[in-house]
């Protein structure tokens, strides 16, 4: 049993490692690590199930530092408990180029960091996905191999962000009882006391959303231990409001915003050492305290060994399935089912919207790949994201389903999908209208930053959605998503390209995929079956010309049909035009220069897309033309809008004749 004195010294090790690292870097946030050191000490020494020697153990508890500006709290804990990736040199190089100890925790920089946090609110919202991922995997594989908690430290900033309301509402509704949020209730933000900007009672917010709520002194280890122990027994998610002093121990700056985002300064840091009785030099941890922390780090070995024994006793097929899912490998038979479906499309030549084509291929994929977990932000019937094999995921149903009704929570849905992907064993996809990617953008950006396989099914992809008008017509959104690093945007032209887009999305292990899908029906343009995936090339000649090419028509999505119609009109006038479908700029740009030159040709080029013209100049060149949108849309039937804005075959023909 840890005495009060031992606890204090262990907590002070966190405080001074953190404050000294911030001081050395001359950059950072010392206040939160100093204030939450007592809570973190109790959590890591008495409750958190982890093993630094096996940091990727699937049944470890997850710890998410939602208040990511206090990153030195996490780095100190990882160093003290013995994580190999966080030796003392990493602590000393806080916020320096190439160090694992970045300004905010970044997933992939080092084992022990479960998710990238920084944008406030994203951590607590992502944690909903972690907790739900645990329940989904538990429903499939049982308590013997999946039975762990998700702990979150969140601050006032996390809870002020609107996404937090979506997250706590979702978690309460789904009764994610293995989610425990430790609220750093210090009442301070960068501008000063939180009373400057808010009068909310966060405890009542959580209670209204169906959470168990406790309030404690965040510097009393006995109260902290009792509260976490109770939280582990509830049948709802839990929030523990830990009343703390930001910058605890700082003699003149403690409890003020002065400790929030700036180093303490040499004088204040020396005063904190004197006040808390910490006599060690910077980065020097007394041997007995380091031993106590390292012993805490070995606490999980017995749990890991016991889990390993249980796992080995599983039925062989169940064990293989668990390993496959956790490793992110797809079932071997999925490609056969997919190719059979592609043959069916080229035989039947359906004329359907690509949102419907997406649902049709999902019917095949969700049968072959049971870990695919779908969802929609209250637009299931419009996004067509639910399939016949997917029952809803509910608390009452034991989390056995394959579909999540996210409600009108685009922010929260996107963040939760990141959590599902990061937890492992789940391949998440979710839908909304393309215009609402603005609501999903912070989480999409983090998907890309963390290289996570998350699929965003974004329908109603252009002015072609029609009567809902410019508030719903995503004129600029595809261009902005194309500008985001490590995001693959695919705008397919027909049922075959949509199927191939899904094949790309589920095999893309380096980042997220955004699919832009139509509301309006489109003909099948790819009428011959090919086993190779042309969408994987990003662009290709979908309709070549007879004789020497005189002009190249480039299009994506619904405008490929327009380009093919223009090609026929030009042919009748004696002009040879080739049509290039360019569903994914990112995939096309990754091809060899020789391939790209072959596809685009060396003749004049005209691009057409019922979206912003921004960015197309790199494909059409200085002498080419772009037909598209230069402003917002309007409310009218789709065919009227295309005519009104000049996105027509006639416009392509006119432009081609001017260039040839």
Distance CA 459, CA 359 (A): 11
Distance CA 281, CA 279 (A): 7
Distances (CA, A) of 258 to 251, 275, 393, 403: 12, 18, 45, 46
Q: Give start and end residues of each alpha helix (H) in 214-332.
A: 221-231, 266-276, 287-298, 301-312, 316-326
Nearest to 442 by CA among 119, 168, 162, 114: 119
Write out the H or E segment, with its range, that includes residue 435. none
Which residue(s) pair with 216 in the sheet?
A: 242
Q: How many CA atoms lie within 13 A of 226 on its CB side?
A: 10
Q: Give start and end residues of each alpha helix (H) in 209-251.
A: 221-231
Question: What is the longest distance spanned by two Cα atoms in the chain?
Answer: 91
Q: Catalytic residue at 586?
A: no
Contacting residues for 219 by C-beta, under 8 A, at least 6 apart: 38, 244, 245, 248
CA 282 remoteness from chain centre: 37
Write out the H or E segment, with its range, that includes residue 117. none
Distances (CA, A) of 282 to 16, 95, 277, 479: 7, 17, 14, 49
User: Does residue 557 come out as left (phi exceeding 0), alpha (psi in the -120 to 50 range) or beta?
Assistant: left
Distance CA 657, CA 660 (A): 5
Selected catalytic residue, list 410, 500, 561, 586: 410
563, 644, 637, 434 alpha-carbon torsion, rounded to 10° = 70
Q: Which residues are catalytic?
A: 410
């Amino acid at each position: 049993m840890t005495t009060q004195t031992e606890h204090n010294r262990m907590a002070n090790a966190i405080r001074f490692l953190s404050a000294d690292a911030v001081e050395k870097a001359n950059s950072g946030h010392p206040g939160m690590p100093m204030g939450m050191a007592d809570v973190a000490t109790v959590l890591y020494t008495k409750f958190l199930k982890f093993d630094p020697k096996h940091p990727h153990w699937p049944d470890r508890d997850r710890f998410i530092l939602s208040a990511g500006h206090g990153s030195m709290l996490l780095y100190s804990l990882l160093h003290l408990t013995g994580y190999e990736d966080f030796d003392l040199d990493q602590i000393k190089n806080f916020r320096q180029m190439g160090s694992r100890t970045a300004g905010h925790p970044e997933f992939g920089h080092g084992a022990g960091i479960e998710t990238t946090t920084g944008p406030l609110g994203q951590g607590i919202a992502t944690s909903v996905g972690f907790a739900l991922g645990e329940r989904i995997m538990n429903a499939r594989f049982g308590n013997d191999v999946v039975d762990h908690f998700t702990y979150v430290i969140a601050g006032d900033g996390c809870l002020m962000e609107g996404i937090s309301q979506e997250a706590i509402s979702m978690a309460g509704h789904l009764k994610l009882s293995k989610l425990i949020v430790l609220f750093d209730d210090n009442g301070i933000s960068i501008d000063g006391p939180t009373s400057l900007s808010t009068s909310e009672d966060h405890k009542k917010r959580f209670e209204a959303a169906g959470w168990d709520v406790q309030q404690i002194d965040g510097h009393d280890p006995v109260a902290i231990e009792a509260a976490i122990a109770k939280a582990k027994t509830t049948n709802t998610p839990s929030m523990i409001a830990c009343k703390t002093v930001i910058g605890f121990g700082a003699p003149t700056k403690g409890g003020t915003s002065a400790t929030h985002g700036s180093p303490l300064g040499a004088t204040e840091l020396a005063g904190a050492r004197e006040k808390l009785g910490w006599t060690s030099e910077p980065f020097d941890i007394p041997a007995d305290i380091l031993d106590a922390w390292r012993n805490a780090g070995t606490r999980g070995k017995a749990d890991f060994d016991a889990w390993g024994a249980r796992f080995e006793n599983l039925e062989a097929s169940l064990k293989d399935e668990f390993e496959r899912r956790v490793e992110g490998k797809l079932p071997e038979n999925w490609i056969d089912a997919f190719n059979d479906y592609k043959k069916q499309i080229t035989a039947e030549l359906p004329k359907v919207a690509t949102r419907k084509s997406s649902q049709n291929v999902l019917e095949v994929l969700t049968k072959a790949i049971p870990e695919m977990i779908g969802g929609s932000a209250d637009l299931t019937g419009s996004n067509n994201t639910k399939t016949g094999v997917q029952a809803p995921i509910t608390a009452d149903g034991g989390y056995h389903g394959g579909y999540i009704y996210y409600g009108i929570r685009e922010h929260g849905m996107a963040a939760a999908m990141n959590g599902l992907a990061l937890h492992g064993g789940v391949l998440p996809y979710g839908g909304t209208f393309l215009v609402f990617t603005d609501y999903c953008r912070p989480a999409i950006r983090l998907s890309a930053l963390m290289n996570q396989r998350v699929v965003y099914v974004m329908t109603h992809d252009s002015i072609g959605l029609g009567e809902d008008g410019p508030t719903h017509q995503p004129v600029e959104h595809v261009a902005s998503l194309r500008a985001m690093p490590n995001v693959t945007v695919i705008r397919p032209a027909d049922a075959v390209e949509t199927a191939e887009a899904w094949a790309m999305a589920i095999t893309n292990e380096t980042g997220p995929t955004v699919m832009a899908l139509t509301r309006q029906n489109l003909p099948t343009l790819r009428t011959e079956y090919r086993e190779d995936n042309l969408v994987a090339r990003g662009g290709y000649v979908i309709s070549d010309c007879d004789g020497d090419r005189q002009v190249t028509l480039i299009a994506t999505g619904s405008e490929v049909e327009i380009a093919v119609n223009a090609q026929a009109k030009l042919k009748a006038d004696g002009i040879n035009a080739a049509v290039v479908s360019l569903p994914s700029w990112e995939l096309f740009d990754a091809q060899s220069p020789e391939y790209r030159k072959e596809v685009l040709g060396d003749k004049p080029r005209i691009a057409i897309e019922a979206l912003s013209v921004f960015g197309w100049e790199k494909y059409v060149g200085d002498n080419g033309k772009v037909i598209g949108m230069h402003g917002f849309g309007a409310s009218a039937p789709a065919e009227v809008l295309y005519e009104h804005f000049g996105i027509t075959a006639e416009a392509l023909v006119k432009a081609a004749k001017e260039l040839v």
